[in-house]
Amino acid sequence: MGSVNEIDFGTPPSTSENLVELVIDGQAVRVPSGSSILRAAQTIGAAIPKLCATDSLQAFGSCRLCLVEIEGRAGAPASCTTPVAQGMVVKTQTPQLAKLRRGVMELYISDHPLDCLTCAANGDCELQDMAGAVGLREVRYGDQGKNHLDLPCDESNPYFTFDPAKCIVCSRCVRACDEVQGTFALTVQDRGFSSQVAASQSESFLDSECVSCGACIQACPTAALTEKAVIEIGQPAHSVVTTCAYCGVGCTFKAEMRGEELVRMVPHKDGKANRGHSCVKGRFAWGYATHRDRILNPMIRGSIQEPWREVSWAEAITYAAAEFKRIQAKYGRGAVGGITSSRCTNEETYLVQKMVRTAFGNNNVDTCARVCHSPTGYGLKTTLGTSAGTQDFDSVAQCDVMVVIGANPTDGHPVFASRMKQRLRQGAKLIVIDPRRIDLVRTPHIEAAHHLPLRPGTNVAVLTAMAHVIVTEGLVDEMFVQTRCELDAFEFWAEFVSRPENSPEATQAYTGVDAGELRAAARLYATGGAAAIYYGLGVTEHSQGSTAVMAIANLAMATGNLGKPGCGVNPLRGQNNVQGACDMGSFPHEVTGYRHISDDATRAMFEDLWGVELDAEPGLRIPNMLDAAVEGSFKGLYVQGEDILQSDPNTRHVAAGLAAMECVVVHDLFLNETATYAHVFLPGSTFLEKDGTFTNAERRIQRVRKVMSPRNGYGDWEVTQLLSNALGSPMSYAHPSEIMQEIATLTPTFAGVTYDRLDALGSVQWPCNAAAPEGTPVMHVDGFVRGKGKFIVTEYVPTDEKIGPRFPLLLTTGRILSQYNVGAQTRRTANVAWHQEDILEIHPHDAEDRGIGDGDWVKLHSRAGATTLRAIVTDRVAPGVVYTTFHHPDTQANVVTTEHSDWATNCPEYKVTAVQVARSNGPTDWQSDYSSKARRSRRVAPVEPAE
């Protein structure tokens, strides 16, 4: 078990294709022009001493250790800031350079505590390394001089400390905050010897604008910024490369371990999704894996009134299997089903749908993607031919115009947001279409060219109005449309969007978007160069979610913004493996690779390999399952890694459905809210405890590697396998790689995917097959997957969820940076330091009308239900719109959301709920009842003494 070591080349790579040849220490070297001498030297293993340089940051030239001598040039230029030149002759080691470097190190050490042996960075300190490298033998300045040794350490952040006494003011943290993260929270305060790194206006790190992404710690060459875990545990001994289990960005991390103990997660430079960056969740919020709330033993109970009883795995599996069989015998084969998780691996998801189709013998399998990105699948398949985003993340670096609609990347997809911000700071233009003034609208060194603050629920009208402008103002990319798209469909669509009723001026009345601003935005999108649309659940979670996705695809086709870098249609996936869960066939109507279950050839392929007959009829979607349960025809459910009670809309309806079932098996890390209604609890494993793959928002399949044994005993794939075996459908996979082998056999787009290839390449983007053995970064390059692109008419149909005298405000929901979805994980980490409860954002006008002030308790009331939470008065939301997050079960924001859903996919309309807000002085009846019920339900009976 070794550590994964990364070479630091000192300065970022040059993208130039021109090679320059020079001589360094007598050795000829060819590097791209624009490379620094420092980088060129490193490529031949001539490591020049350095402290302020690191290859994730632009050269800075402050430490003055990397000085070199260049033939024909006076003095000793810094090799980090000096670019190579043809024929240059460089010496990196001379007596004079050695003297200068020792002199510089002597200065550094004259203001540095000499406590290396007891320092947390001992063994992982560049200052220490450099002192050795330059041969520093004495510090002749004495110990009476001015110094920073007594400065207090800032321990405010829950995850790391800032010890200014150990800071060498190299500005790497400041530059990382600026260049990599783009938050600009850090600065150097004062000047000269008093220069000191400061967070915001010399505030504590916790109170500052710092978002705890960890980039500064990553960049720090000393112990000035150190993870508290390293201080407590010590330096890691080995590391394993794996993939983050939070959002759909899919960051690659090195899990740095000591034995089976995780010391820290460090973003991996070779990660193609994150390029060495991270956010507060992936980097720090993994403590839930060992949280005391985690359930490690299987439990069963006869009814949900009873306390839980801990049992052996064998008993739990046998019991669950027997219950499912009993229910099917009594109520029919279709009375049970399963839900797969976007949190679990591809292999686990695949197994659950396989188990449902083979052991349950029906197609009642659905995934939590139902409630997030199912419209993406439908919309993009219909228009372009494949249910996935068209680009890789790297594409954003070539984007000229970014449209962000219904997404809040800086909170929901922070690492990708940082890459967007890098491009925006280079001058790309930004259009934000969102009811709320998300951070991207105006953030340091970035300002959206246009923010269209539309009324929730009017996406389709706004997107169609943009199409109106593009078509009627002659901005269509005729060549692209002629050669790449179905012309009849285009003509039909063009005629439709051109109608006066679709003009910005006509739609302004109900979208609330200024017509002039919309026209300008549409022109910018159509004419501003490579234009990319990035969207999230603010597009999909509507009654016209699928329509909006198609409207987005229409815009991209009409302007030729597909099939090349810098543009495309890019869904920002919510969870780590939403893409994968969908790819893996966990839909009632589709098997892997989005092939319909009614297709005989497809079914035959699976039947041959699985040795069972498959039902040709699609099964039940999640909402159908719950409806059927309330009606009495659906009685048993296996839920892997999803908390439908908290995450699905209209909580009371979900609760009623679950309560009506006879066997609910919850397979999860924690006794989640759904488990309140469960009869069997199977402990789940974390991403740290199993092998597998996740597929991120850019179709990138990445390895999840086991770094510790499952504390609950089994990886989730093993549990599903046990259950399937007990149900009489044998599975005998010895390792998840064998599952992937089966997936590859059965799925044309995955045909070339093997663990060996993933290990060799780091990751691949599907389609990966004979035609594209190393995967496909950008799709639809020469033609669309469906052949010709198809324009779809997108008529705006207002949602039935309407405001009126009783419910005059529109509620929309979203995420916050520090918490993740239902919060099951992040609430069990120190991330609660930033977000302890869900808060309702309300505009000052609406607050004034209702006598609501900052911090007041308010009751949020809809047709579906009511909840209470605290309010904050802010003009981030428009008048008439309120906003909250849904991370906390105490709030249960979904008590108020309704049963409305997307017409095509049943994706719930989370983003539009008519509500009323009033001052309140306590929790609603539902909250009190639920809270006591959940408390009761979580009781575990004491273990009986052994006989």
DSSP notation for 767-816: --BTTBTT--SSSSSSSBTTBSB----------S----SSS-EEEEEE--
Q: Which stretch binds other proteins (CB under 8 A): 100-108, 456-464, 847-855, 892-900?
A: 100-108
Q: Which stretch binds other proteins (CB under 8 A): 102-110, 115-123, 460-468, 726-734?
A: 102-110
Name 24's bridge partners: 27, 90
- Least distance (Å) from other proteins to the CB of residue 53? 11
- Least distance (Å) from other proteins to the CB of residue 156? 24
Q: Which stretch binds other proteins (CB under 8 A): 165-173, 611-619, 678-686, 801-809?
A: 165-173
Q: Which two tokens stand for residue 701?
A: 């399949």
Among 92, 171, 363, 502, binds other proteins (CB under 8 A): 171
Phi, psi dihedrals of residue 694, rounded to the nearest 5°: -115, 150
Among 60, 606, 807, 930, binds other proteins (CB under 8 A): 60
Among 38, 63, 251, 904, binds other proteins (CB under 8 A): 63
| Residue 840: CA count within 13 A, CB half-sphere | 34
Closest by CA to 629, choosing from 300, 333, 337, 320, is 337
By CB under 8 A, tell whether 137 contacts other proteins.
no
By CB under 8 A, tell whether 352 contacts other proteins.
no
What are the percentages of helix, strand and coil residues in the chain, rounded to 5? 35, 20, 45
Helix, coil or strand: residue 462: helix
| Contact status, residue 313 vs residue 298, Cβ threshold 8 Å | yes
Task: Using the structure block, give the residue that is written with the tokens 């050269």.
Answer: 59
- Least distance (Å) from other proteins to the CB of residue 529? 16
Tell me how far apart the terminal alpha carbons of the chain are, to the nearest angstrom. 43
Q: Give the distance from CA 211 to its chain's centroid.
A: 16
Nearer to other proteins, 138 or 756 (CB): 138
Nearer to other proteins, 82 or 894 (CB): 82
Nearer to other proteins, 110 or 725 (CB): 110
DSSP notation for 265-325: EEE-TT-TTTTT---HHHHH--GGGG-TT---S-EE-SSTTSPBEE--HHHHHHHHHHHHH
Among 2, 143, 191, 732, binds other proteins (CB under 8 A): 191
Nearer to other proteins, 78 or 578 (CB): 78
Residue 771, burial from CB neighbour count under 10 angstroms (0-12, 13-18, 19+)? exposed
- Least distance (Å) from other proteins to the CB of residue 104? 5
Q: Which stretch binds other proteins (CB under 8 A): 79-87, 372-380, 411-419, 853-861?
A: 79-87
Q: Which residues have a Cβ under 8 Å from the Cβ of 135 and sit 6 or more positions away?
A: 98, 102
Window 818 to 837, contacts with other proteins (CB under 8 A)? none
By CB under 8 A, tell whether 110 contacts other proteins.
yes
Q: What secondary structure, in 3-state letters, does 205-239 show?
A: CCCCCCCCCCHHHHHCCCCCEEEHHHHHHCCCCEE
Window 538 to 577, contacts with other proteins (CB under 8 A)? none
Q: Which stretch binds other proteins (CB under 8 A): 187-195, 296-304, 655-663, 741-749?
A: 187-195
By CB under 8 A, tell whether 95 contacts other proteins.
no
Q: Which two tokens stand for residue 845?
A: 């006008």
Strands (E) in 467-578, as ranges, are 531-535, 568-571
Phi, psi dihedrals of residue 571, rounded to the nearest 5°: -70, 130
Q: Which stretch binds other proteins (CB under 8 A): 125-133, 186-194, 253-261, 506-514?
A: 186-194
Among 62, 376, 747, 867, binds other proteins (CB under 8 A): 62
- Least distance (Å) from other proteins to the CB of residue 216? 18
By CB under 8 A, tell whether 410 contacts other proteins.
no
Phi, psi dihedrals of residue 125, rounded to the nearest 5°: -130, 120
By CB under 8 A, tell whether 475 contacts other proteins.
no
Q: Which two tokens stand for residue 811?
A: 């509620």
Among 12, 32, 61, 618, binds other proteins (CB under 8 A): 61
Nearer to other proteins, 141 or 492 (CB): 141
Nearer to other proteins, 80 or 661 (CB): 80
- Least distance (Å) from other proteins to the CB of residue 520? 22
Nearer to other proteins, 357 or 429 (CB): 429
In whole angstroms, give the CA distance from residue 550 to residue 385.
11
The bridge status of strand 365-367 relative to strand 839-842 is unpaired
Q: What type of residue sits at position 513? A: V
By CB under 8 A, tell whether 292 contacts other proteins.
no
Q: Which residues have a Cβ under 8 Å from the Cβ of 162 and sit 6 or more positions away?
A: 153, 154, 197, 199, 205, 224, 225
Helix, coil or strand: residue 46: coil
Nearer to other proteins, 100 or 515 (CB): 100
The enclosing H or E element of 846 equals helix 844-850
- Least distance (Å) from other proteins to the CB of residue 175? 12
By CB under 8 A, tell whether 84 contacts other proteins.
no
| Contact status, residue 377 vs residue 513, Cβ threshold 8 Å | no
- Least distance (Å) from other proteins to the CB of residue 422? 15
In whole angstroms, give the CA distance from residue 171 to residue 173.
5
Among 42, 82, 353, 511, binds other proteins (CB under 8 A): 82
Nearer to other proteins, 80 or 639 (CB): 80
By CB under 8 A, tell whether 67 contacts other proteins.
yes
Window 40 to 59, contacts with other proteins (CB under 8 A)? 59
Among 13, 87, 103, 855, binds other proteins (CB under 8 A): 103
Among 146, 479, 600, 851, binds other proteins (CB under 8 A): 146
Find the length of the chain: 947
At what angle are helices 487-498 and 459-472 packed, to 10 degrees? Answer: 100
In whole angstroms, give the CA distance from residue 167 to residue 225.
8
- Least distance (Å) from other proteins to the CB of residue 100? 5
By CB under 8 A, tell whether 192 contacts other proteins.
yes
Nearer to other proteins, 197 or 881 (CB): 197
Give me the 193-222 binding string for other proteins, x by CB under 8 A, dash otherwise.
xxx---------------------------
By CB under 8 A, tell whether 64 contacts other proteins.
yes
- Least distance (Å) from other proteins to the CB of residue 34? 11
Q: How many residues bind other proteins (CB under 8 A)?
A: 40
Q: Where does residue 125 fall: left (phi above 0), alpha (psi -120 to 50 degrees), or beta otherwise?
A: beta
By CB under 8 A, tell whether 108 contacts other proteins.
yes
Phi, psi dihedrals of residue 111, rounded to the nearest 5°: -130, 45
In whole angstroms, give the CA distance from residue 18 to residue 238.
39
Among 90, 104, 211, 355, binds other proteins (CB under 8 A): 104
Q: Which stretch binds other proteins (CB under 8 A): 78-86, 320-328, 363-371, 722-730?
A: 78-86
Nearer to other proteins, 100 or 803 (CB): 100
By CB under 8 A, tell whether 78 contacts other proteins.
yes
| Contact status, residue 497 vs residue 467, Cβ threshold 8 Å | yes
Q: Which stretch binds other proteins (CB under 8 A): 168-176, 330-338, 750-758, 838-846?
A: 168-176
- Least distance (Å) from other proteins to the CB of residue 136? 13
By CB under 8 A, tell whether 88 contacts other proteins.
no
Q: Binding residues for other proteins, per CB under 8 A?
A: 59-64, 67, 75-76, 78, 80-83, 96, 99-100, 103-104, 107-108, 110-111, 140-142, 144-146, 168-169, 171, 187-188, 190-195
